[in-house]
Chain A
Amino acid sequence: MASPPPLPSSTSVLSSASSLADSLFQRSLDDLIKSLRSDPSSEPSIIARSLSEIRREIRSSDPLTKSIALQKLTYLSSLHFHSMSFAAFHTLELLPSPSPQTKRLAYLAASLSFHPSTTELLPLATHQLHKDLTSLSTSSSSSFPFLPSLPLHLLSLASSADLSSHLAPDLVPLLSRSSPLQPKAVAATYRVLSLCPSTVPVLFKPLVDCLSSDNPLTVSAAVGAFCELSAPPNDPAPYLPLAPEIYRVLVNSRSNWTLIKALKIFSRLVPLEPRLGTRIVEPLSKFLRESQAKSLVLECIKTVVSCLPTHTEAMRLAIDKIKELLSSDDDPNLRYLGLQTLGMLAPGHLWALEESREVVAQSLTDPDRSICHEALRVMMAMTLQENSIESCTLLVRQAAKSDPEFANEILDSVLTSCSKDFYELVVDFDWYVSLLGEMARIVHCTKGDEISRQLVDIGLRVRDARPELVRVARELLIDPSLLGNHFLYNVLSAAAWISGEYVEFSKDPMELVEALLQPRTSLLPTSARAVYIQSVLKVLTFSCNSHIDESSSLVNDTVIARMLSLIEMTVGPLAESEEAEVEDRVRNLLGVVRLVANIKDLSVDKDKDGMIYEVVRVMDALFSDEMGPVSANAQKKVSVPEDLDLKDNLADLSEFISDNDAAMSRSNPSILFYPQSCNASEEVEVGPTSVAESTSLKEHRKRHGLYYLSTDKETTEPELTEDYPRVNETLPPSNGDTTRRVKVTKLRPTVVKLDEGEDLATSSSLSTKVEAMKDDPLSGAIKDVLLGKNGNGASSSFDASSSSQGKGKDKVKGKEIKSKKGEEGESKDRHKGRRKHKHRKEPAPPVSVAQETPVIQDFLL
């Protein structure tokens, strides 16, 4: 869009006339703001009109008209979010303006709107920036001593790597001379360094020198720059050699700003070099004891807590200070920060958290959302196996009282932390399962998906929890009011599945069938409805079977008869349902109902019709096979048969696929319970094998019952391995938490874990991240400079530089630089070499750096 402006020489009479009118009647920024304020309703039309005016005015040959147009455009762009990319060229045109005011406007426009990703014209600014940066040393424009600060702002906001590398040499004089501009140059240098690591040889040493400047503002800015450079995700290791400099600042500086930044740097260096801790602990303790500045005290607390946990004395001071923060009732900011720092004490100093438990619990009800957040975080941080019941019960109770958003945040963190590492926090699954039920019933709960996932997951993984699961599921199912809440559909569907799958623990199958078929189930979505009906089928087969076996006193002729008639009555109409999922299951169910309708007469004489018994048993066997969790990697473990050609074209199969097949494929259910489609496997795969072993099934079921009821663990142990061949259920004895578990009075039930190997994947990705960090070009370049080789490498680079200096001067920058020392010339030259991307291979840093930088070890001894 950036069309060049009309050249004065070729301007037609007409356009110059219109440009004259433009400048005479041009509206100023104030006019624009006034008209926007006078009629807020027509803001869009006013802006549209102004923009079209601006588009015309900005092409004007009169610099004043142009600059006012740009000013208005900057305003509209900054506060009304209109793109000003079309004006990039005009902005560049105004940068060299002799009027300081216009220049400032142009720089402001550029720094607000330019960015290498969107401004193609950015390289065109190079020369002007260079001129303005060096204006103090080259010309008499010292009447405007602030001039170089304009390009510094632009450089730090809108620079590209190229621009940075071109202008880096211009920063050196600004960095080395004490002036009001020095801190600004330091701040800009940080941005240039992080944008373009190849400028390290030029800029790093002057930046380090700024740490010992006489100007406290410069020191502050320099410490700030190193604080940013060492901040994550950067690797702080290259800055270790600067520790003595930073330490000097820490001891000598009087500015809290500077001290805070210095502490931040140390908090990144100490983990790398623990001996530094013993050095800084003394000044830190002094600040903690004596400083009146809360900000500095806060920073000391953070530093001590995060990296000096072994220094008991300092730690005690810090914890005292945290408690002070927590108890400042009149200042919510301090309480907020108190909670934040308290959270940092976990997991090393849980006793300190425990001591403040009451304050934390109280903060959960604070009117301030930020404080509630922090309190929740602390609460979760101090939750262990021992106190999980207490903490989580408190949190869930709190969720019931909180506003919807925070309630769900609480539920979310309870669900997440309790399910972490295969429910590591949970000792008493009966409690946890009923807590899940309680959570689902909280009015604003939107976490139904996760709750249902965990209900099913616990069912699959923790045998001992199943009776309680069935009880919780029953409570959810018999409550008709829950059926209206669409957030709970998944929970209800999970509850229905659990009641069907583990029906043997149900106290009253008839009640269950009634609950599953209650009228309001019509509100459920198809997927949940299908699960409900399938569960009815399971309950029915179980009831019939136990009736035949006479194993249950709850089931008798009348119960079965009632059950059958209820099912027929309520499910019958659904046989014509348009939903394939529902229709399919209803037909299955009705088929079984009609089949067993005869049993009630036959119960007395079992031999009369062996067929029906056989069918009932087979049906029951279908559902009695136990389902375990499926490993996320299960599919990978299945070896592909040799004769399977996955690339084979299947198109010619289409003629074989009849309508029947299509109907069958339809039964592939969309109700996917975690993990992977239990229903599908139950019907398709488990079925046939179970039928084959149906003779031993009764016995099998009995053994099951024994297992669940029994309290003697000896008999169950071998069972466990038999029934769960895929489970690595025995935890290695060296596992860290076994010691913790010993204290727990109630024995934690076995939790089936399959995917523990996945940890490997995450840890390896972590290590690659670390590798990547080490490869960071900036830290690499700084390492080269700070720790780099000295001696002959440096001297040879001296030679190279002196010979290539002439070449350098031919380039754009070369002639303007007044390099006072050879060293500067050398670094500039080296930098030019680096621009050709040879940077990593260049051998050595300037000799002076290697000499002046003290080696860390000296400092530590």
Chain B
Amino acid sequence: MIRAVMVISTQGKPRLLKFYEFQPPEKQQEIVRYVYGALSERPENVSNFVDADSVFGQGTRLVYKHMATLYIVFAFDSSENELAMLDLIQVFVQTLDKCFKNVCELDVIFNFNKLHTILDEMILGGQVIETNSDQILKHVDDIARIEKSSSTTSLVPKSISARFGR
């Protein structure tokens, strides 16, 4: 299964974290630090796989993709195929790209909930449920539409309070 999905900036800041096996916050912080340490010392143009035995247990590995200022990292165990995981990262990136029109770190930073929604349409409890980025996007859009239509009727536009932002 997939043990975790992490998006970490090249500065070492986590931008999206989802652990498919419960980790308390302190442990999460430790993992992010370890993963960032392991990835940041790797040169360009090397393979995308790193052993992760020491954080996720025996036989686990990280597969990552370095995109501009972000590392997109999946941790997985022996029940997953390495190249399939690499493809899955590609699917995730593609979906983000389609969703945000050339995704950049800012999109990831300001769309915390949307990123989770996208990820949840792709992976459930560490199991891959959809690998077609168009389908994922369609589901995400459907959800957004439904949420919008139900929220316009009931909510005071929150932008007013946003203006008072300190």
Task: Choose among B42, B79, B113 the residue that contacts A369 (Cβ–Cβ < 8 A).
Answer: B42
Contacting pair B158 A68 (CB below 8 A):
yes
A31 within 8 A of B: yes
Determine if A666 is an interface residue (Cβ-Cβ < 8 Å). Answer: no
Residues of A within 8 A of B101 (CB): none
Contact residues of A between 69 and 89, Cβ < 8 Å to B: 71, 74-75, 77-79, 81-83
Would A24 and B161 count as touching, CB distance under 8 A?
yes
**Chain B residues with CB below 8 A from A27, complex form:** 161, 165-166
Distance, CA A437 to CA B33, complexed state (A): 37
Given A31-B162, A64-B155, A228-B79, do A370 and B45 touch, yes or no (CB 8 Å)? no
Bound-complex Cα distance A373 to B52 (A): 13
Asked if A257 contacts B84 (CB within 8 A), the reply is yes
Task: Report the minimum CB–CB distance from B143 to chain A (whole Å).
Answer: 6
Q: How large is the interface on A (under 10, 10 to 19, 20 to 34, 35 or more residues)?
A: 35 or more
How many A-B contacts at CB < 8 Å in the complex? Answer: 184
User: Per-residue 0/1 for A179-208: is the Cβ within 8 Å of any B Cβ (1 yes, 0 no)?
Assistant: 010011011101100000000000000000
- The docked-state distance in angstroms from the alpha carbon of A260 to that of B88 is 14
Do A184 and B124 form a contact, CB below 8 Å, given A83-B25, A367-B43? yes
- How far, in Å, is B51 (CB) from chain A's closest CB? 7
**Interchain CB contact under 8 A, A184 and B129:** yes
Max chain B Cβ within 10 angstroms of own Cβ: one of A82, A83, A368: A368
* Chain A residues closer than 8 Å to B34, beta-carbon distance: none
* B161 touching A28, Cβ below 8 Å: yes
A623 to B1, CA, bound (A): 61
Kindly provide the distance from the CB of A80 to the nearest chain B CB, expressed in whole angstroms.
8
Docked pose: A370 CA to B62 CA in angstroms: 11
The answer to whether A29 and B128 have CB atoms under 8 Å apart is no
A29 adjacent to B127 (CB under 8 Å): no
Instruction: Determine whether the beta carbon of A157 is less than 8 Å from that of B125.
Output: yes
Interface size on B, residues (CB 8 A): 64
A392 shortest CB reach to chain B, Å: 23
A294 to B28 Cα, complex, angstroms? 33
- CA gap between A366 and B46 in the complex, in Å: 9
Annotate B103-120 by CB proximity to A: 1 below 8 A, 0 otherwise: 000000110110011001
- Tell me whether B156 is interfacial, beta carbon within 8 Å: yes
Q: Are A337 and B46 in contact (CB under 8 A)?
A: no
| A404 neighbours in B (Cβ, 8 Å) | none
Greatest chain A CB density within 10 A among B20, B46, B81, B116 is at B81
B133 to chain A, nearest CB (A): 14
List residues 114-141 of chain B with CB under 8 A from any CB of chain A: 116-117, 120, 124-131, 139
Contact partner of B147 (CB less than 8 A), chosen from A104, A156, A191, is: A104
Residues of chain A lying within 8 A (CB to CB) of residue B86: 295, 333
A71 in complex: contacting residue of B113, B146, B150, CB < 8 Å: B113
- Tell me the chain A residues, 131-150 only, with Cβ under 8 Å from chain B: 143-144, 146, 149
The answer to whether B83 and A100 touch across the interface, beta carbons within 8 angstroms, is no
B16, B22, B109, B143, most chain A CB atoms within 10 A: B22
Select A157's contact among B22, B82, B83, B162, beta carbons within 8 Å.
Answer: B22
Residue of B nearest to A293 (CB): B83
Interface presence of A429 (CB below 8 A):
no
Q: How far is the CA of A295 from the CA of B155 in the complex (A)?
A: 48
Tell me if B's interface is mostly helix, strand, loop or mixed: mixed
Whether A79 contacts B17 in the complex (CB less than 8 A), given A104-B117, A257-B131, comes out as: yes
- Which residue of A is nearest B77, CB measured? A231
User: Does B87 sit at the interface, judged by CB under 8 A?
Assistant: yes
State whether A256 and B84 are in contact (beta carbons under 8 Å apart), knowing that A368-B42, A368-B47, A370-B47 are contacts in the complex.
yes
> Once the chains bind, are B51 and A191 in contact (CB under 8 Å)?
no
Does A101 make an interface contact (CB < 8 A)?
yes
- Residues of B within 8 Å of A187, CB to CB, are 124-125, 127, 129
Contact of A332 among B47, B51, B109, B126 (CB under 8 A): B47
At the interface, yes or no: B49 with Cβ under 8 Å from chain A?
A: yes
User: A143-186 CB contact bits vs B (8 Å, 1 = yes)?
Assistant: 11010010011011110000000000000000000001001101
Chain B residues whose CB sits within 8 angstroms of the CB of A294 once the complex forms = 83
Please determine whether A221 and B127 come into contact, CB atoms closer than 8 angstroms.
Answer: yes
Task: Judge whether B49 and A75 touch: CB under 8 Å.
Answer: no
Inside 8 A of B46's CB, which chain A residues have their CB?
332, 366-371
Q: How far is the CB of B165 from chain A (nearest CB, A)?
A: 4
Q: Are A101 and B161 within 8 A (Cβ)?
A: no
Q: For residue A373, which residues in chain B have a CB less than 8 angstroms away from its CB?
A: 51
Task: Using CB atoms, name the residue of chain A closest to B84.
Answer: A295
Complex Cα gap A371–B18 (Å):
28
Interchain Cβ contacts under 8 Å between A and B, 30 examples: A27-B165, A28-B165, A29-B112, A30-B162, A31-B162, A33-B109, A35-B165, A71-B113, A75-B112, A78-B14, A104-B117, A118-B24, A143-B146, A144-B146, A149-B120, A153-B120, A157-B22, A183-B130, A188-B124, A221-B128, A227-B79, A228-B1, A228-B127, A264-B79, A298-B83, A332-B45, A337-B49, A369-B42, A370-B49, A371-B46
Extra pairs beyond A79-B112, A295-B83, A366-B46 (5, CB < 8 Å): A153-B125, A184-B124, A264-B81, A337-B49, A370-B47
